């Protein structure tokens, strides 16, 4: 049986209690108080757990950043629920392995659960406004920053620095905000196939993650 273990970090007890209340009593969720406790409970022979770190914060202050770094280092998949992020903070969040961001004013029970599920699947789930900002930030990086520049190839050609048509199809759907499950359904393939396509693209082009891949696509003129 698959279950999701969640460790909730918040700046105060009220915010933490609110997040736990919104998550409700879903049978698929176990909310714990520490990453160590969460990781220690994942070895059951009968129950397989995915571990998600849910971080609630007003801003990306030093304690929040240290928490993101600690959870990522411990191997947890992280979802960040935040009141506001400055433009220059978004690349820092992404660089610390965060693929799911939710505005606090949008954190209804349904939306928070969707964010946790996305993090558990290692999917990207960003508000469209934040996604465009991440793309803009990454696209403005210097040439040596890891965002490759692609030469204009012959129409339809694929190569070591150009995505194949299949990869471009997946990349476009990621840019539209679709999850792995939704992309698989739209392309009539398995979720594993979608993940393999994304992994092959990011590995070949030296990209860090899905937002980085989308930024590359826009910068190189593929999207």
Q: pTM of this prediction?
A: 0.59
What is the pLDDT averaged over residues 201-209? 84
Same fold, 2-125 and 152-219: no
Q: Is the pLDDT of residue 57 over 90?
A: yes
Counting other chains too, the contacts that 9-16 makes at CB distance below 8 Å and 24 or more residues apart are 9/53, 9/54, 9/55, 9/56, 9/67, 9/71, 10/55, 10/56, 10/57, 11/56, 11/57, 11/58, 11/63, 11/64, 15/56, 16/56
**Class of domain 152-219 (CATH, top level):** mainly alpha
Q: Is the pLDDT of residue 34 over 60?
A: no
At the topology level, CATH places domain 2-125 in Rossmann fold (3.40.50)
Q: Is the pLDDT of residue 149 over 60?
A: no
Residue 76's nearest CA partner among 7, 148, 179 is 7
13 compared with 94, residue with greater pLDDT = 13
Q: Is the pLDDT of residue 118 over 60?
A: yes
- Domain spans of the chain, in order of start: 2-125, 152-219
């Amino acid at each position: 049986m698959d279950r999701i273990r969640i460790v909730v970090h918040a700046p105060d007890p009220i915010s933490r209690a609110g997040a736990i209340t919104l998550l409700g009593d879903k049978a698929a969720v176990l909310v714990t108080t520490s990453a160590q406790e969460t990781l220690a409970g994942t070895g059951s022979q009968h129950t397989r757990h995915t571990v998600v770190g849910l971080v609630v914060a007003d801003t990306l202050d030093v304690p929040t950043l240290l928490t993101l770094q600690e959870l990522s280092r411990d191997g947890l998949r992280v979802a960040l629920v935040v009141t506001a992020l400055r433009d220059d903070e978004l690349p820092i969040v992404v660089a610390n392995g965060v693929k799911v961001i939710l505005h606090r004013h949008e954190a209804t029970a349904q939306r928070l659960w969707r964010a946790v599920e996305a993090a558990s699947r290692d999917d990207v789930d960003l508000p469209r406004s934040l996604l465009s900002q991440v793309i803009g930030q990454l696209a403005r990086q210097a040439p040596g920053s890891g965002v490759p520049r692609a030469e204009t190839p012959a129409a339809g050609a694929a190569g070591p620095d150009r995505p194949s048509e299949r990869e471009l199809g997946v990349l476009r759907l990621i840019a539209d905000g679709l999850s792995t499950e939704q992309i698989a359904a739209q392309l009539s393939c398995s979720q594993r196939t979608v993940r393999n396509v994304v992994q092959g693209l990011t590995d070949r082009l030296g990209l860090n993650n899905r937002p980085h891949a989308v930024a590359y696509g826009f910068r190189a003129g593929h999207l």
